[in-house]
Structure 1
Amino acid sequence: MRKIVMISLALGALALSASSCSTRQKVDLVVYNACVYTVDNSFSVHEAFAVDKGVFLAVGSTEDIRQYYKGRKEFNMEGAAVYPAFHDSHSHFTQFANGLSHVDLRGSVSEEEVIARLKEHYELYEPAFLEGDGWDQTLWEDKSFPGNQALSDAFPHIPVYLRRVDFHALWVNNKAIELSGLQPGDPGIRPGEAILTEDGRFTGVFLEDTGVRIRADIPPMDDKTQETYLQKAQEICFSYGLGSVTDGGLSLEKIVLLDSLQKAGVLTIRVDAWISPSEKNFERFTSPYRSDKLDVSAVKLFIDGALGSRGALLYKPYTDDPGNYGIQVTSDRDFTLACKKAFERGLQVATHAIGDKGVGKVLDLYQPFLAPGNDLRWRIEHSQIVAPADFERFKNMGVVPSIQPTHATSDMGWAEERVGPERIKGAYAFQDLIQTIGWAPLGTDAPVESINPLYTFFAAIARTNAEFWPEGGWQPENAVSREETLKGMTLWGAKGYFREDQKGSIEPGKWADFIVWTKDLMTIPVEEILDTSCKMTFVAGEQVYP
């Protein structure tokens, strides 16, 4: 007997006839003849659903749904795959939007190519300063950090600010250093944060807080320009099947802008915004703030830097840089104080931790706040290198490992050089992390990586690059199943910020955020995945793409 998951009839028991269209309940939308992956508790697959007033009303067979419901709009999907709209559980949406105005340096294979791209941009727009994102010296013949002589010669009169692909290292010309007022030996520069020549001069590369300090001279983007780029970013996200994103580490001003644009209907993408640990933010958010479009319920903290720029905090020195243990970017005292304020306000804590000592230290500092059996869902973002004994601590403390699968496939060519053959065994261990608590939200870390969630899906299950190297996948024992990956991009993503009752699956009563895909990601050969794309995106039952 056919079963319909749920039919909600506002008028009570009606004598409905399968042969009489006039008695069917009118709803906003009916989707039928689809392959609907509901991502419910049983991971059931259905054919059709009805949507009304922005929520799923009923899910079932095509025959049942069309028998009982008449849509003001109806879509015959002709067998296409339908999933809950994807959620990016770790991204920087506002930063991604702003980056659309920067010079894209991703994939550049030399310092000369970087400068050529900058010159091309300058000749087109003649800006008062240059910003670029995405250079990666591990792709160059000389894999050491660059100097800035050529950069300064090319642009002697305007400041140039170039962020490394991990956004934890900044490469600048002499003009930018001059404007900052920094000098070698400045007591405000934390050890290791300024890369120096042998004779003690700045090379032009700065890490972590010192890089942030230099970037403070960049004029802020005005709200109107910001609005334009946020709209462009939203369009890109919708075209990739994202119905919601995370926006980590925001100032109060950025959160207020997002909220105002959503209330005005300018932005319809749902945003999970994490506050930076500023006094202004803690004064404003004395408890979580939630609307149907915006959540402000977590604080973003940092414990260390990135592996690529050797700022991730390690128990033992870097294999390729003896004597360097990485950088602790937040003191134990300041970190504990921020955790205390978050705990008192009922906010989650989401902490960037990449090195094994970074992860272990965060677990240590979390422990006083996390009673056994807690459901606070405090998170560790990235968790890229984990000491063997610390996997069990995730489970015992209820700490959520937040995973970005494309980091593994981006870093696999050089990661072992950084940490050696033993530590690499506990690196990018996604399956092991999922098993700690039974679930994990997945994201992109955009703009560090592409915001396209298709790459997340592919990297999680294949653990290869787009050319399918290495054969069989890198450390394939930590590949993630397709079902786990889809859950991580939908239901587990929602669970990561306490929204699993409203979104993340196609079930009656939940927000009608769903996508249609060109091929079924759950069944096609892995070799075909990157040739697929999002066909349609709906948020609250409204088509937002195309």
Structure 2
Amino acid sequence: MWMLVNANGYTLAPDGGNFSALVMDGGQIVAVGATDDVRLQYGARVDRVYDAQGATVLPGFVDSHLHLAWLGMQMNMLDLARATSAEDVLAQVRQRASTLPSGAWVLGANWDENRIANRRMPSIAQLDRAAGGRPVMLRRVCGHVVFGNRYAYEQAGLGIHPANPSDGHFGRTPSGDIDGYAYEGATTLLERGIPAMSGSELERSIAAAIDSALASGITGVHSEDVRHVGSLYRTMDIYHRLQAQGKRLRVHQLVGFDALEEYGEWLVEQANKQPTIEELDWLETGAVKLFADGSLGGRTAFLQHPYHDAPTTRGTAIYTQEELNHRVAQVRKFGLPVAIHAIGDGALEIVLDAIASVPAVAQRDRVIHAEVASEPLIRRMAALCDRMIVDVQPRFAASDLPWVEGRLGLQRMPYVCAWKSMLNAGLYLCGGSDAPVEPIQPLLGIHAAITRRLPGTSGDGRFMNEGLTPYEAVKLFTHGPSYAIHREDRKGTIQSGWMADLTIVDTDISNSQQLEMIPRTCVLQTIVGGEIVYDRLR
């Protein structure tokens, strides 16, 4: 049993408020209150006392939507986030290629044509020359578009005239040859040429991503890793091993629809094993993940009306209404909820129809992103709010809004990242980073939810009527993810009997006068299950 005192603490509980001390024992919070009162009651029984010295103590941050395995994998790839010209991209490819043996893949991520001069990436021929005969695959920041050279297409067995899959397409030159770009499901066909990672490589990658999460103040994640690791059993085995090695992070695993049959087998095994609620608090599975569309950046988000800057297309609907309904019904046969990616309003409409077409289950369905949502669609979501939650990514408001008007036109901009309207309509929201698409740090997401602009920029963000209060923004990353998985009675707030998951920072991020300090705020300690798992002061 140990005691934390002299804190600037926020319980975020409905009937709670501030506190300055708490006691933890056996991974749970035992008492919360004023320092003098808690000392008087528990001082003689605690083993140690930690003086917070006025630091701000919050319920442990939880990221409701990211990809830990993918994040770890990208740590060993070229990071093209700062590339501002085609030559920048080529220079990084040349440098990396010079360090690799002949035939090895040059892998990169995070390019964004909106940051590239004239919005022009290199040509496929330039990429061929820069790589010196090596295959190259560079993933766009959104994850829904990749750019590969001819050697990559050869290694994947696609050639220069590959057929388009039903759920994506390849970019073409006027003559019909590939131009290097692959969109949505076509990216999977190109990726199949990349040599698979070994189990030890995957384990090291995920371990590095966990370390990054803990250093960011994250105590738990809702991750989707099976499609990157290749198997649900393999994924869960890696996490079990890492947790046994001391990687203390709570993991709620979403499972892609392609692994549904394997997931069914897993559920039968788990029912026979009957894991305890305490075991599930550390590692469990949840909703089945589906994609209804792509991304606005890649013009593959499916819209109700054509793109403003590409009026011949509405984007890519991964499924027809009937196909999506059928898949959701298949998931329901296992008694499971769905978590469906929907960026565009056209995709959101299809998703709401699909969810409404099947009976509810005990766990909550979730719509992931809902980046473009008109008032009628928000009302439709609100009508389903007792059985679903909206999983939003606040950093999209900072990184996307500066260029999204070009995609959608000014008339549709009020519908973009309309989170305040969703809250006012009675919807429940949870917050994630979508890392590695956006930075993993929840503090950056909290800042974006409030200001709707990037750190270091001045003035108001776009459509500030949709900005959240500091309290609402922090709840996205604390109470919201717990509510999404029916754990709001055990975590997400600081109360006696709740799990002892805490994030301690050096700035009072609830103070509206210190908003510009939020991106520079330091995580001092991350506490999971009553144990300090990250300590900046050590």
TM-score over 0.5 for the pair: yes
Residue equivalent to 1:492: 480
Contact residue 60 and residue 526 of structure 2 kept, 8 A: yes
Residue equivalent to 2:262: 280
Gaps of 5+ in 2: none
Query: Within the alignment, does 1:57 sit opposite 2:39 as a pair?
Result: no
Residue equivalent to 2:185: 209
Q: Cα deviation per residue 1:50-90 (whole Å; 9 max; x = unaligned)?
A: 00011101111111211122322211111111011100011
Residue equivalent to 1:404: 393
Deviation at 1:183, TM superposition (A): 4.2
Residue equivalent to 1:257: 237
Deviation at 1:238, TM superposition (A): 1.0
Residue equivalent to 1:271: 251
Q: Cα deviation per residue 1:195-219 (whole Å; 9 max; x = unaligned)?
A: 1111111110110111111101111
Residue equivalent to 1:421: 410
Q: Cα deviation per residue 1:176-206 (whole Å; 9 max; x = unaligned)?
A: 0111222455444348621111111111011
- In structure 2, what is the Cα distance between the partners aligned to 1:231 and 1:259? 9
Gaps of 5+ in 1: 1-26
Superposition map of 1:35-184 within 5 A: 35-69=8-42, 70-124=45-99, 126=101, 128-144=104-120, 146-183=122-159
Change (3 A) 1:110 1:253: farther
Matched residue type, 2:492: G
Contact residue 389 and residue 427 of structure 2 kept, 8 A: no
Change (3 A) 1:417 1:521: same
Query: Within the alignment, does 1:220 sit opposite 2:209 as a pair?
Result: no
Q: Cα deviation per residue 1:502-532 (whole Å; 9 max; x = unaligned)?
A: 2111111111110211111111421222221
1:443 aligned residue (406, 409, 432): 432
Deviation at 1:126, TM superposition (A): 4.6
2:211 aligned residue (225, 231, 235): 235
- In structure 1, what is the Cα distance between the partners aligned to 2:424 and 2:242? 37
Tell me the SS of whatever aligns to 2:281: coil
- In structure 2, what is the Cα distance between the partners aligned to 1:165 and 1:259? 26
Contact residue 298 and residue 347 of structure 1 kept, 8 A: yes
Contact residue 97 and residue 134 of structure 2 kept, 8 A: no
Deviation at 1:243, TM superposition (A): 0.5
Residue equivalent to 2:378: 391
Residue equivalent to 1:501: 489
- In structure 1, what is the Cα distance between the partners aligned to 2:411 and 2:501? 43
Q: Cα deviation per residue 1:354-394 (whole Å; 9 max; x = unaligned)?
A: 111000110011111256xx864211100001133111011
Contact residue 480 and residue 492 of structure 2 kept, 8 A: yes
Change (3 A) 1:437 1:370: farther
Q: Cα deviation per residue 1:320-354 (whole Å; 9 max; x = unaligned)?
A: 01111101123444422331233232322111001
CA radius of gyration, larger in: 1
> Which TM-score applies when normalising by structure 1?
0.90
- In structure 1, what is the Cα distance between the partners aligned to 2:494 and 2:17? 10
Query: Within the alignment, does 1:379 sit opposite 2:366 as a pair?
Result: yes
2:305 aligned residue (316, 337, 361): 316
Contact residue 133 and residue 151 of structure 2 kept, 8 A: yes
- In structure 2, what is the Cα distance between the partners aligned to 1:125 and 1:545? 35
96-105 vs 48-57, which deviates more?
Answer: 96-105
Residue equivalent to 1:12: none
Contact residue 90 and residue 122 of structure 2 kept, 8 A: no
Contact residue 146 and residue 203 of structure 1 kept, 8 A: no
Matched residue type, 1:223: G
- In structure 1, what is the Cα distance between the partners aligned to 2:52 and 2:497? 22
Contact residue 32 and residue 49 of structure 1 kept, 8 A: yes
Deviation at 1:46, TM superposition (A): 0.7
- In structure 1, what is the Cα distance between the partners aligned to 2:308 and 2:264? 40
Residue equivalent to 1:292: 281
Change (3 A) 1:38 1:177: same
- In structure 2, what is the Cα distance between the partners aligned to 1:316 and 1:56? 51
Q: How many residue pairs are counted as aligned between the two chains?
A: 516
2:171 aligned residue (171, 187, 195): 195
Residue equivalent to 1:541: 530
Change (3 A) 1:126 1:432: farther
- In structure 1, what is the Cα distance between the partners aligned to 2:180 and 2:298? 14
Change (3 A) 1:183 1:157: closer
Tell me the SS of whatever aligns to 1:310: coil
Change (3 A) 1:490 1:532: same
Residue equivalent to 1:345: 334
Matched residue type, 2:38: I
54-63 vs 141-150, which deviates more?
Answer: 141-150
Matched residue type, 1:543: I
Contact residue 381 and residue 427 of structure 2 kept, 8 A: no
- In structure 2, what is the Cα distance between the partners aligned to 1:66 and 1:271? 34
- In structure 2, what is the Cα distance between the partners aligned to 1:186 and 1:129? 20
Identity of matched residues, %: 29
Q: Cα deviation per residue 1:408-448 (whole Å; 9 max; x = unaligned)?
A: 11011210110111112211111112233343101111000
CA RMSD after TM alignment: 2.0
- In structure 2, what is the Cα distance between the partners aligned to 1:309 and 1:385? 15
- In structure 2, what is the Cα distance between the partners aligned to 1:440 and 1:139? 30
270-279 vs 519-528, which deviates more?
Answer: 519-528
Contact residue 145 and residue 205 of structure 1 kept, 8 A: no
Matched residue type, 1:385: V
Tell me the SS of whatever aligns to 1:413: helix
Deviation at 1:142, TM superposition (A): 2.2
Matched residue type, 1:31: L
1:521 aligned residue (506, 509, 513): 509
- In structure 1, what is the Cα distance between the partners aligned to 2:367 and 2:65? 11
2:5 aligned residue (32, 46, 50): 32
- In structure 2, what is the Cα distance between the partners aligned to 1:270 and 1:321? 43
